[in-house]
Amino acid sequence: MRIEIHAERFRLNRHLYRYIRRKVLACIGEWKDRVRKVMVSLTDVMLGCGGIEKRCLVEMELDGLPGGVVCQQVDRDTLRAIDRSMACMGGLLRRTLLAREVGPG
């Protein structure tokens, strides 16, 4: 499994990189053998009122699932945006993989 972490419009420091990597590994958990690639992208989002928020976009490529799964969250706080997107992705990943195991019927 490959993990890619990118930041746009701000600097990604070592602490933040490690934090994201830990969150990704915790999110994947028991499903790690089914995940081929994880891409995390952090971006500053400009608000109409002049404020800035952070967007955390997480994309996962899974074995046997074309297109993968995607989740994103936006928050004023960088760590909270990461936490929320990983929580969302964890639930989505679980539901997607469990549905594939059960199959149609």
Give the model's confidence band at 75: pLDDT under 50 very low, under 70 low, under 90 confident, else very high.
Answer: very high
> Residues 49-64: pLDDT tens digits?
777 889 999 999 998 8
**C-alpha 93: how far from chain center:** 10
CATH number (domain holding residue 24): 3.30.160.100
Number of domains in the chain: 1
> Residues 8-47: pLDDT tens digits?
877 889 999 999 999 999 999 888 888 999 999 999 887 7
Across the beta sheet with 52-62, the strand order is 2-8, 35-46, 52-62, 65-75
Show the CA angle centred on residue 74, arms to residues 72 and 80, nearest 5°.
Answer: 100
Q: Which of these, 47, 54, 57, lies nearest to 24 by C-alpha position?
A: 57
Residues in the chain: 105
Q: Residue 92 sits in which domain range?
A: 2-102
**C-alpha 100: how far from chain center:** 20
Q: Which of these, 99, 86, 98, lies nearest to 60 by C-alpha position?
A: 86
What pTM, to 2 d.p., does this model score? 0.87
